[in-house]
C-alpha cells in the first residue's frame, strides 16, 4: 500500500462544494431567493418598526461565541432578585422578521435545513447578508429578538418563565476562549474581556445561574461529556494543522443557558397544546456495550439504561482520569447514537432526551443556523400573538423528516471533509505508528481516531476483535485526499 499524494492544485473548497451536491444540498442561492435578499437589503430597517415589542436596549446584553462567528443567534443578561433567585433573559435573533414562511429564502433554507460546517468551508443556511448581518445579534446594533425569561432559584429550578418579543442591543460581543480563561482564573480576577462597565459582575452572575442549572441537571441524570473537536488550519490551500476546540467555562455557561431556554420553550408549546417539533434522544440500543466499558474500568452499571447511573460514572471517570476523559466521552457518545426531530402534539408523543435527562426538549436558540429553530420561532410568535399555528401537523412531520435526512447528510459531509483535511495533512506520514481509540465497529468496517493528531480513519488489517472504546496502536498505510480515505493497520 502507498500514499496517493494530492494533486498540487487540489482544491479543498471545491471538494466541499461537490460533497454538498452529492448529499443533495443546494449550496448556491437560487435566483428568486437572491431577488428577495436584494429587496430586504434595500430596506433593512423596516422590520425594526414592528409594534408590540418591548424595548430592552438599556440592558447589558452580551454574546459569547467563537472568535470567527458572525452569525450570532443569542445574547444573554442576568439580574439578581431580592429573594436570591437569578432572573435570566436569553434573547434569540428574530430571523422570521426577515425570512417569512413560504418565501423563496424560506424554501432555500428548507432545502438545506442547517448551516453546514465543512471545515475548509462554511455553507450557510441563510445568505450571509442576513445570517451574519441583518439577522445576527452583532454588537452595537438594534435587533429584534424573541426573549426567554427564566427565574432560577438556588436549587437550579426554573420557578417562573415568560416568553415575549423585544428590541435589544448587544453591548459586548465576546469570545469563548477569552471569557473561559477569565472565568477559570482564581480571584482576584483581572478585568473581564471587553470594556463595558458592569460586565464583570454580569458574567459572574450568568455563571452562577449556569452552575445552578447544571447542578440540578446532573442530579436528574444529564450527561456531561468532554468532546474534542478538531478544525483544519488551511494555508495557501493546504491543511497545515488540525487545531482542537475543547469545552471551557464559557462554553459550559452558554450550553446550560441554551438548554434551559430550549426546555422552557418546548414545555410552553406542549402545555399550550401547540403541535411542534422536539429533539429526541431515546434510550441507547447499545447500552450493554456501555455497561461493558464501565465494567472494564471497574464500575457497575445497571442492565437497564439509567441516565443517573451513567452520569455518576462519567463524573467519577472525569475526576479519576481527566486526561483520557475525552476519549471515553467519544465512545459513549457514539454508543448513545444521534438524536432526531419528532412531531409532538401532546404528552402521548413525548419520548424525551436521554442525554439531557429532559422530559421535553426542542431546538430554538439558533434560527440563523438551524431550520427547526426557525419553525419553532414561528410557532412561538403565532402563539404569543394569539394567532393560529402557521403549520399543520402534517407539515411539521414533513419538516422533521427533511431535517433528519439533512442532518444525517450534514454529518456525512462534515465527517468526509474532516477526513479530506486529515488526509491532506497526513499524506506525507506513511508508515508512522499512532495511538488510537476505536470509534466504530460495524459490518462496513472498524474505525479509529488517533489521539494525536485527532484524525479518524479505517482499520483495514487486523481489525478483528476491536470494539468501540478499545485502545489500540495503528500504522498509517494509505491516504486518498479526494475521497478522504485514511487506512491503518492495527499493530499487534
| Banded pLDDT at 5 (limits 50, 70, 90) | very low
Residues 306, 392 within the same domain: no
Q: What would the DSSP string read from start to end of 243-275?
A: EEEE--HHHHHHHHHHHHHHHHHHHHHHHTT--
**Max CA distance (Å), the chain:** 70
The answer on pLDDT for 50 being more than 90 is: no
Residues 180, 203 within the same domain: yes
Listed residue (452, 458, 464) closest to 487, CA to CA: 458
Residues 382, 235 within the same domain: yes
- Report if residue 64 sits inside a domain: yes
Expressed as residue numbers, the domain containing 317 is: 287-336
- Report if residue 3 sits inside a domain: no
Number of domains comprising the chain:
3
Q: What is the pTM of this model?
A: 0.89
Q: Which of 421, 449, 470 is the last residue of a domain?
A: 421
- Report if residue 5 sits inside a domain: no
Residues 193, 295 within the same domain: no
Residues 329, 243 within the same domain: no
**Helix or strand holding residue 487 (H, E):** strand 485-490
Tens digits of residue pLDDT in 249-279: 999 999 999 999 999 999 999 999 999 999 9
Residues 6+ apart with CB under 8 A from 275: 343, 344, 345, 389, 391, 392, 393, 396
Residues 310, 443 within the same domain: no
By mean pLDDT, which of 8-17, 278-287, 353-362 is the weakest? Answer: 8-17
- Report if residue 7 sits inside a domain: no
Which CATH number fits the domain that encloses residue 436?
Answer: 2.40.50.140
Average pLDDT over the chain reads 93
Residues 74, 209 within the same domain: yes
Amino acid at each position: 500500500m502507498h500514499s496517493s499524494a494530492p494533486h498540487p492544485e487540489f482544491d479543498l473548497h471545491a471538494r466541499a462544494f461537490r460533497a454538498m451536491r452529492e448529499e443533495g444540498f443546494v449550496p448556491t442561492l437560487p435566483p428568486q431567493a437572491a431577488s428577495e435578499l436584494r429587496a430586504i437589503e434595500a430596506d433593512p430597517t423596516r422590520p425594526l418598526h414592528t409594534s408590540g415589542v418591548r424595548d430592552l436596549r438599556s440592558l447589558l446584553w452580551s454574546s459569547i461565541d467563537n472568535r470567527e462567528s458572525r452569525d450570532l443567534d443569542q445574547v444573554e443578561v442576568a439580574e439578581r432578585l431580592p429573594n436570591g433567585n437569578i432572573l435570566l433573559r436569553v434573547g434569540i435573533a428574530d430571523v422570521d422578521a426577515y425570512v417569512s414562511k413560504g418565501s423563496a429564502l424560506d424554501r432555500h433554507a428548507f432545502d438545506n435545513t442547517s448551516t453546514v460546517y465543512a471545515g475548509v468551508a462554511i455553507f450557510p443556511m441563510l445568505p450571509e447578508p442576513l445570517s451574519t448581518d441583518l439577522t445576527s445579534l452583532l454588537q452595537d446594533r438594534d435587533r429584534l429578538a424573541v426573549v426567554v425569561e427564566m427565574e432560577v432559584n438556588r436549587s437550579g429550578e426554573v420557578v417562573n418563565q415568560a416568553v415575549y418579543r423585544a428590541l435589544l442591543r448587544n453591548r459586548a460581543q465576546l469570545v469563548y476562549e477569552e471569557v473561559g480563561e477569565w472565568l477559570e482564573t482564581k480571584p482576584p480576577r483581572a478585568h473581564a474581556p471587553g470594556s463595558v462597565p458592569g460586565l464583570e459582575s454580569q458574567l459572574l452572575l450568568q455563571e452562577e445561574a449556569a452552575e445552578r442549572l447544571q447542578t440540578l441537571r446532573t442530579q436528574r441524570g444529564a450527561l456531561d461529556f468532554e468532546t474534542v473537536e478538531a478544525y483544519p488550519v488551511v494555508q495557501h490551500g493546504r491543511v497545515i494543522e488540525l487545531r482542537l476546540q475543547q469545552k471551557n467555562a464559557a462554553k459550559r455557561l452558554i450550553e446550560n443557558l441554551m438548554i434551559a431556554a430550549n426546555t422552557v420553550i418546548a414545555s410552553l408549546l406542549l402545555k399550550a397544546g401547540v403541535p411542534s417539533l422536539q429533539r429526541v434522544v431515546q434510550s441507547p440500543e447499545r447500552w450493554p456495550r456501555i455497561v461493558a466499558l464501565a465494567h472494564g474500568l471497574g464500575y457497575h452499571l445497571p442492565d437497564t439504561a439509567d441516565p443517573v447511573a451513567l452520569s455518576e460514572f462519567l463524573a467519577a471517570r472525569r475526576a479519576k482520569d481527566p486526561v483520557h476523559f475525552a476519549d471515553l466521552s467519544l465512545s459513549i457518545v457514539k454508543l448513545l447514537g444521534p438524536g432526531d426531530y419528532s412531531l409532538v402534539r401532546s404528552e402521548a408523543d413525548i419520548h424525551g432526551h436521554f442525554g439531557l435527562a429532559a422530559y421535553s426538549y426542542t431546538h430554538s436558540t439558533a434560527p440563523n443556523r438551524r431550520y427547526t429553530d426557525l419553525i419553532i420561532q414561528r410557532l412561538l410568535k403565532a402563539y404569543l400573538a394569539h394567532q393560529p399555528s402557521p403549520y399543520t401537523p402534517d407539515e411539521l412531520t414533513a419538516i422533521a423528516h427533511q431535517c433528519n435526512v439533512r442532518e444525517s447528510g450534514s454529518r456525512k459531509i462534515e465527517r468526509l471533509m474532516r477526513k479530506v483535511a486529515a488526509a491532506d495533512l497526513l499524506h506525507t506520514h506513511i508508515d508512522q505508528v499512532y495511538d488510537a481509540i476505536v470509534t466504530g465497529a460495524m459490518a462496513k468496517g472498524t474505525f479509529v481516531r488517533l489521539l494525536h493528531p485527532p484524525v479518524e480513519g479505517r482499520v483495514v488489517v487486523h481489525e478483528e476483535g476491536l470494539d468501540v472504546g478499545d485502545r489500540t496502536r495503528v500504522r498509517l498505510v494509505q491516504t486518498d485526499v479526494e475521497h478522504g480515505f485514511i487506512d491503518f493497520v492495527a499493530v499487534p
